[in-house]
């Protein structure tokens, strides 16, 4: 531990979020010698835990599932000495003595914070979405795909996640409608080619979802062709929304400077507007949605935070 008792802090570095960025930051910070704690309300892995096939993470020539990758990253971080805590972060308070991270199970203090809390999947906002959550509305094809064997499903979105999850669903459902509002998908060519190769995936460009139907469970989805204006009701037992991500920054209050999308602004060292708070992963303004990039940012943020903690401790010793 760098700070020791003189630092009056429980930890040198606290990392909020146990996704790829957070766990990579934890392994790097702990290996450098910082007393490190990772806090997450859902356990390790973050959103990748719901991904069936990850094919863009370095070191894995064959696709790996998120449920395999998350624990591997945790094991590495803990091997270097990082600690894990299951809790929800309510807020961060800064003072002259350091930072206090308030959790639903109590407060913990530190010298520096790395925010790697990631993002949440954006909801459609359609009437009935909340009531049908878990009753036909889903965000995890690998979790709920087996329940749709020989049934019909609709995937909404034109990015990599939508195309990848449609491919997973096609192993179970007899028909998968892949609807996206643009005239061409945004997904990488690899994902598009895989969807094109599956006979039971029907792509519907220039299409939006107008309504969800069903009482105790989803029975149909109303689709609208944005070019012709034609509205069609298609039978569906499951609908999967991949409409983008919203950053999990509500707990920050006004502590940090955010961009127009609510993501944390950082400099080249991933330092935020607070000198002892850093950010990594897709919660950061300008981040790219690649797991390899998230891992790299986690390592960079950890190095920067470690340097900041070490420098602050050295100044305290000189002043004393």
Q: Which two tokens stand for residue 183?
A: 């005239």
Asked if 110 is an active-site residue, the reply is no
What crossing angle do the helices spanning 66-79 and 20-32 adopt, rounded to 10°?
Answer: 20
Candidates 143, 171, 225, 246; catalytic one? 143
What crossing angle do the helices spanning 160-169 and 189-196 adopt, rounded to 10°?
Answer: 30
Residue ranges of E strands in 9-166: 11-16, 36-40, 83-86, 89-95, 98-103, 106-115, 119-121, 137-138, 152-156
Asked if 144 is an active-site residue, the reply is yes
129 within 8 A of 123, measured Cβ to Cβ? yes
Q: Which two tokens stand for residue 279?
A: 């950010």
CB-side exposure of 236: number of CA atoms within 13 Å? 30
Separation CA 168–CA 146 (nearest Å): 10
Asked if 103 is an active-site residue, the reply is no
User: Residue 297: is it exposed, middle or buried by C-beta count within 10 angstroms (0-12/13-18/19+)?
Assistant: buried
> By C-alpha distance, which of 311, 320, 254, 318 is closest to 12?
311
Q: Which two tokens stand for residue 198?
A: 């599956």
Candidates 12, 144, 160, 164; catalytic one? 144
Q: Which residues form the catalytic set?
A: 140, 143-144
């Amino acid at each position: 531990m760098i700070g020791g008792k003189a630092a009056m802090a429980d930890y040198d570095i606290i990392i909020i979020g146990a996704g790829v960025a957070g766990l990579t930051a934890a392994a790097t910070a702990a290996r450098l010698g910082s007393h490190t704690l990772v806090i997450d309300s859902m356990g390790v892995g973050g959103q990748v835990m719901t991904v069936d096939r990850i094919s863009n993470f370095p070191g894995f020539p064959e696709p790996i599932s998120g449920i395999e990758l998350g624990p591997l990253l945790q094991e590495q971080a803990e091997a270097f000495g990082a600690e894990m805590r299951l809790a929800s972060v309510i807020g961060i308070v800064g003072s002259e003595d350091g930072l206090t991270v308030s959790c639903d199970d109590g407060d913990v203090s530190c010298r520096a914070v790395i925010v790697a809390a990631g993002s949440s999947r954006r909801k459609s906002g359609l009437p009935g979405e909340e009531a049908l959550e878990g009753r036909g509305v889903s965000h995890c094809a690998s979790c709920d795909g087996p329940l749709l064997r020989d049934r019909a499903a609709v995937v909404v979105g034109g990015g990599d996640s939508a195309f990848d999850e449609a491919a997973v669903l096609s192993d179970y459902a007899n028909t998968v409608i892949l609807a996206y509002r643009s005239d061409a998908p945004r997904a990488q060519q690899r994902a598009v080619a895989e969807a094109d190769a599956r006979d039971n995936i029907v792509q519907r460009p220039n299409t939006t979802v107008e309504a969800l139907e069903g009482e105790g469970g989803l029975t149909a989805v109303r689709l609208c062709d944005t070019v012709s204006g034609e509205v069609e009701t298609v039978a569906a037992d499951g609908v999967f929304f991949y409409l983008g991500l919203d950053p999990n920054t509500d707990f920050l209050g006004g502590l940090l400077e955010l961009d127009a999308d609510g993501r944390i602004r950082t400099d080249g060292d991933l330092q935020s507007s607070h000198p002892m708070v850093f950010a990594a992963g897709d919660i950061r303004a300008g981040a790219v949605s690649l797991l390899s990039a998230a891992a790299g940012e986690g390592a960079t943020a950890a190095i920067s935070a470690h340097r900041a903690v070490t420098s602050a401790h050295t100044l305290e010793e000189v002043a004393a």
